[in-house]
Structure 1
Amino acid sequence: MIPRRIASELTHLIDSYPAVALLGPRQVGKTTLAHEIGETRPSIYLDLESDADRAKLTEPELYLAGHEDKLVILDEVHRLPGLFQNLRGLIDRGRRAGHRTGRFLLLGSASIELLKQSGESLAGRISYLELGPINGLEVPREDLNRLWLRGGFPDSFLAASARVSQRWRQDFVRTYLERDIPQLGPRIPAETLRRFWTMLAHHQSGLLNGAELARSLGVDGKTVASYLDLLVDLLLVRRLEPWHANAGKRLVKSPRVYVRDSGITHTLLGLETLEDVLGHPIAGASWEGFAIETLIAAVPPGTQANFYRTAAGAEIDLVLTLPGRRPWAIEIKRSLTPKVERGFHHACEDIAPERRIVIYPGVEPYPLRDGIDVMPLDHAARALSGG
C-alpha cells in the first residue's frame, strides 16, 4: 500500500460536508482510498456497476434513509445520474435530524456529467476533491525514475516487471477507448481517439495547434476541440493555460497540452524501458510533464497554474500563484548540470516572482546567481506544500 497524501484532506472534507465527490480516472485508487476511510467509521459501500447494488437503489430514498447514521460510499455514481436529486432530499432531511456532515462519499471516473449533475442538484451541499495518479511526493526518491517510466497508476507502478507494467497500460488505454468512453456518452471511433491521444503524446508540452491536429486527423477544428475537452474532462490530459496578467507584453495565447500520466505517454509512444525513454526525443518533455503533475499535486488549494511565454522568447515552464502570494517561477530541466537561458531571466523580470526555482533530476539543492535555487523535484514539491 502506498499512502496517498490527500487522505487527510478527504477525511477533513467528509467531516465538514454532507457529501464529497472524489474524482479521478479509472484504476487510480479511488475505491481503495474510500475503503480505507470507510474502515475508520460506520459505513456501507455500493458499487453502481454491480447489478445487485443497483437493485438496492430501486427505491433510493427508502434504502438510504435506513443508513443515515453511516457514511454511504457510492462508486461509479455517474451510472445513476437520477440519484443526485434523491441525495439532496436525504441530505436536507438529515440536517434537520442533526446529521449535518459525513453522509455520502461519491466516487466518479468522469468529471463531465458528474460535476454538472451534482452541481445542479447538490449546490452548497457537496465538496470536490481530485485523486490523481501516484506522484513524486508519494514514493521514495530512489523510485522516482520507475514512477516516471511507468506512471502513477498503482497497478502499473507496482507491476512485477516493466513488460507487465507496459501490458497493463496498453490494456488501460484500450479499455478506456473501447468501453469506458462510449459508456459515458460520446460516440467517437476508438481508433480516431487513439490517434489523437498519441498525437498529443508526441507533442507533449507543446503549444496546442488545433489546425495542425485537425489536418492530421482529417476532421475540423471544432471536432479536435471536442476531443481535447473530453480527455481534459476525463482527467487524462492537462491543458495548461498561459499567464495573462501582464498586459504590456505580447503573450502567447495558446495553451500547452500534456498527457497527464507519464506512463501512459510512454505507452502511447511504444516506449517500454527507461533506456527507450532516455533515447527518445520526448524524454525532456515527458520529464517536464511528470514534474508539473507532482508540483501541482503539492500546492495548496486555490493555487493557479500557468506557463509564461512572450512573442520575444521570454519563457517560464510553470508559474504557480499560491493564494495571497506572488507567483513562483519554475523551470524544469532533465540535465544534471542545468543551464538557465536568457529567456527565463527576462520572463522573471516581467512577473517579479517570489521564488525562482530550477527543477533537475539530481539529489542535492544548490543556489545559482540571481536568486535562483536548483532543487530536486521532491524538495521543490515540499517547499510548495509548506512541508
Structure 2
Amino acid sequence: MIPRNALHDVERALGRQAAVALLGVRQVGKTTLALDIARRMDAVYLDLQTRSDRAKLSDPGFFLNQYEDRLVILDEVHRVPALFPELRGLIDRGRRRGRRTGRFLVLGSASVELLRQAGESLAGRIEFVSLGPLGVLEVAPDAATSTSLWVRGGLPDSLLAGSDEDSFAFRRNFIRTYLERDVGEFVQRRLPPETLGRLWTMLAHWQGGLLRASELARSLGINTATVGRYIDTLTSLFILRRLPPFVANVRKRLVKSPKVYVRDSGLVHALLRIGDFDTLAGHPVSGASWEGFVIDNLLAAAPPDTGASFYRTAAGAEMDLVLELPGFTKPWAFEVKRGLAPRPSRGLRSAMEDLKPERTFVVYGGDERFPLAPGIEAVGVRAMAELLAGLRTRSAQERTKADVHSR
C-alpha cells in the first residue's frame, strides 16, 4: 500500500468533528484508506454497495447505537440517502453524553450530492476531506516514476499496473464503466453512452482550454443546457476541474470563461488513445496534459482553503495558475512549461505587472531550482508541491492551535 497524504487530514478531521466525509473519484483509493483507518482505530466498516450491509441499516438507529464508542465507516453512503437524518440524531444524542468527535467516516464519489444531503442534515456536524489521484509527493522521487505518473495518471491500479498495456486497459475499462453506468446514477435525462463518450473525448482534446459549452453542444448535436448539466455532473464526480478566471481590479478586458481540465492525466491519454510516453511526447495535447498534471498536483498539495484561478486578458497577459494562499495578502502566480529549458513568456511578464504577485514561478519538466529573471523562479513540480505542502502543514498547525484555544 502506498501511504496517502490524506490519511493525516482524515485523522485530524475525526479528532475535531463528529462526522467526516471522504470524497473522491471511483478507484482512487478511498476504500483502501478507510480500511487502513479501520485497522488503526478498531472501527466498524459497512459497504453499502452490498445488500447484506444495507440490510443491517434497515433500522439504522438500533444498529448504529450499538457502536457509539467506536468509529463507524460507511462506504458508498450515497446509496442510502435517508441515512443522513438518522446520523444527525445519533450525533446529537452522543454529544449530550460527551461523545463529540470521531463518530462516522462516510465515503462517496459524488461531491455535489453528498454536500447537498449533508448540508441539509449534518450542518455543523461534518467536515469534508478530498482524496485525489496519487500525486508526486506520494510516489518515488525518481524521473522514471514521475514520468509514469504523468503518462498513466494517479489512479492506483493504473499507475501500479505491470505494463503500459495493462495500465491502458484499466483506464479504458474505467471510462467505459463510467459511461455505461456511473454517470447515469446522477442525471435524470441520460445521454447515450456513445454521445457521452464523444463529449469526454472532446473535453480531452480541449484540455486546458476555455469552456465553450455552446460549441460542444453544436458538435454533438445536443442543446447547451444538456452539455452544461453533464459538465456539472462530471465535475461533481471529480472527473473534470473547472478553473475560474481571476477577478482583478485592472482596466483591461479579462477572459471570463473558466478553463476546463480532465483531472487525471492518465484518463486524458486513455480518451485520446495515447498508451505510452513516446506517443505522448509527440502528441499535440502533450503541453496541455502536462499543464493539467502540474495544476492538479499543486492544488492537492496546497492548503485546503486556497483559492485557485487563472488570469488572462484580451491583450495576451496570461498566468496559468493563480493561488490565493492563507496568510498572504498577495497571490502566488505560476506559469507551466513542459520543457527542460524554460523561459518566462511575454504574457507572464504582462500578467505580473497587473497582478503584482507575492511570488512568481515557472513550473517546468526538470528538477533543478534556479532564478530565471528578477522576481521569477524556475522550479520542478515535486519541489513546488513540497513548498506548498509546507504551507499546508503550517496552516493545519495554526488551525489546531486555534481549536485548542477556543475550547
Do they superpose with TM above 0.5?
yes
Q: CA deviation at 1:245?
A: 2.5
Task: Within 5 Å, give how 1:97-176 maps onto structure 2.
Answer: 97-142=97-142, 143-176=145-178
Q: Percent identity?
A: 57
Q: Secondary structure, in 3 states, of the residue corresponding to 1:330? A: strand
d(CA) in 2 for partners of 1:272, 1:133: 19
Task: Within 5 Å, give how 1:1-387 maps onto structure 2.
Answer: 1-142=1-142, 143-186=145-188, 187-325=190-328, 326-386=330-390
Q: Secondary structure, in 3 states, of the residue corresponding to 2:41? A: coil
Q: CA deviation at 1:89?
A: 0.4
**Which letter maps to 2:283?**
H
d(CA) in 2 for partners of 1:81, 1:98: 27
d(CA) in 2 for partners of 1:113, 1:383: 33
**Which letter maps to 1:330?**
F
Post-superposition CA distance 1:256-303 (Å, at most 9, x none): 000000000000000001011111000000000000000000111210
- Count of matched residue positions in the alignment of Structure 1 and Structure 2: 387
d(CA) in 2 for partners of 1:144, 1:246: 38
Q: CA deviation at 1:379?
A: 0.8
Q: CA deviation at 1:188?
A: 2.6
Residues 343 and 372 in structure 2, CA contact (< 8 A), matched pair in contact too? no
Q: CA deviation at 1:183?
A: 2.7
Post-superposition CA distance 1:126-156 (Å, at most 9, x none): 0001101001111123211000000000000
**Which letter maps to 1:168?**
F
d(CA) in 1 for partners of 2:185, 2:262: 22
Q: Secondary structure, in 3 states, of the residue corresponding to 2:28? A: coil
Q: CA deviation at 1:247?
A: 4.0
Q: CA deviation at 1:40?
A: 1.4
**Which letter maps to 1:268?**
L
d(CA) in 2 for partners of 1:247, 1:85: 47
Q: Secondary structure, in 3 states, of the residue corresponding to 2:275? A: coil
Q: CA deviation at 1:246?
A: 2.1
Q: Secondary structure, in 3 states, of the residue corresponding to 1:39? A: helix
d(CA) in 1 for partners of 2:251, 2:327: 23
**Which letter maps to 1:254?**
S
Q: Secondary structure, in 3 states, of the residue corresponding to 1:319? A: strand
Segments of structure 2 that go 5 or more residues without pairing to the other structure are 392-407
Q: Secondary structure, in 3 states, of the residue corresponding to 2:344? A: coil
**Which letter maps to 1:122?**
L
**Which letter maps to 2:186?**
L
Q: CA deviation at 1:239?
A: 0.2
**Which letter maps to 1:184?**
F
**Which letter maps to 1:105?**
L
Q: 1:225 to 1:185 in 2, by over 3 A?
A: closer
Structure 1 runs of 4+ with >3 Å offset: none
Segments of structure 1 that go 5 or more residues without pairing to the other structure are none
d(CA) in 2 for partners of 1:114, 1:211: 29
Q: Secondary structure, in 3 states, of the residue corresponding to 1:317? A: strand
Residues 367 and 383 in structure 2, CA contact (< 8 A), matched pair in contact too? no
d(CA) in 2 for partners of 1:278, 1:153: 21
- When structure 1 is superposed on structure 2, of 5-14 and 175-184 the one drifting more is 175-184
Q: CA deviation at 1:324?
A: 3.1
Post-superposition CA distance 1:160-214 (Å, at most 9, x none): 0000000000110011111112233442321111111110000100111122111
d(CA) in 2 for partners of 1:241, 1:181: 24
TM-score (norm 2): 0.94
**Which letter maps to 2:382?**
D
d(CA) in 1 for partners of 2:2, 2:141: 14
Q: CA deviation at 1:125?
A: 0.3
- When structure 1 is superposed on structure 2, of 247-256 and 229-238 the one drifting more is 247-256
